[in-house]
Homo-oligomer: A and B are copies of this chain.
């Protein structure tokens, strides 16, 4: 990271990831290096809920110090994420799979801008009509991943509130599958009767056992959840000693992974697996995959977001 105060010139372009609950911006030089960064909690939901806020106003507030004093040149801003949703700044209609990175960039929309110092392009999301599914933002991470791994042939996993698995081959995103894993875990651990069974304890072996059970008895999911509660009540010392969070996490992530492993088994060849993110959640996914004998390479999530926006910028800049 460089400090912008030492920069006399403005950035070549600005990368923005505008999510539901926050927005992040990066001042970029032409060589795809980061000059500076900024972020704010003013995601799509905050702006939609407050008449005094506008997307352009929030954006300028975030990047104003990077912009030239006069309007002799417009700096290109490239945005991915919820700014392109129907409830966002300007709807960028979904592209359909299969899709190549340049097709995604060509689907960008350009909102009317009052400030003469910037041009704004908002990237589209991605949809799948058969087996209905959608993403907004993750497609740009996939593009960034593909830019760094042009020969990749396999599955890319983006764990999170709505975890995504995308099939990538031949330089295109072929299809994808979303799982409500993170949201279901949050609801169950914080708002269901299982909240009484959550504490700070953790046991990897218990997590891995729950992952395996989720695959061997997939119809038992809603029953397995209740055993998290019941284990502490029946006086079964073995069961009571299992940390509830490890069982619940293993049951929920394990349900997702059991389905993915089925899809992997249907693949005509042994596919690679890439795991976006290197935090605690990605670590759990790696353990769950390992319980099924699969190895996954971890990739930094922020780096590929910026790489995906840079890839789109290059397409937009020459068109």
**Interface positions of A (Cβ within 8 A of B):** 94, 127-134, 162, 177-181, 183-184, 187-188, 191-193, 214-215, 217-223, 225-227, 229-231, 233-236, 239, 252, 255-256, 258-259, 262
Known: A131-B227, A183-B192, A226-B133. A219 touches B178 (CB 8 A): no
Task: List 7 tightest A-B contacts by C-beta distance, closest first.
Answer: A219-B259, A218-B218, A179-B222, A132-B230, A219-B258, A178-B226, A218-B219
Copies in the complex: 2
B-side contacts of A219, CB under 8 Å? 214-215, 218, 255, 258-259, 262
Instruction: Decide: B220 and A133 in contact? CB cutoff 8 A.
Output: no
Which residues of chain B come closer than 8 Å to A255, judged between CB atoms?
219, 221-222
Q: A127-B233, A133-B230, A187-B191 are in contact. List 18 more A-B contacts (CB 8 A).
A: A94-B234, A128-B234, A131-B227, A132-B234, A133-B227, A178-B230, A179-B222, A179-B226, A180-B223, A180-B225, A183-B192, A184-B188, A184-B225, A218-B219, A221-B221, A222-B252, A222-B259, A223-B259
Contact B191 A94 (CB under 8 A): no
A178, A223, A230, A236: most-surrounded residue (chain B CB, <10 A): A223
Residue of B nearest to A257 (CB): B219
Q: A220 contacts which chain B residues (CB < 8 A)?
A: 259
Q: How far is the CA of A217 from the CA of B263 in the complex (A)?
A: 11
Q: A252 vs B259: C-alpha distance in the bound complex, in angstroms? A: 17
Q: Which B residues are CB-close (under 8 A) to A239?
A: 132
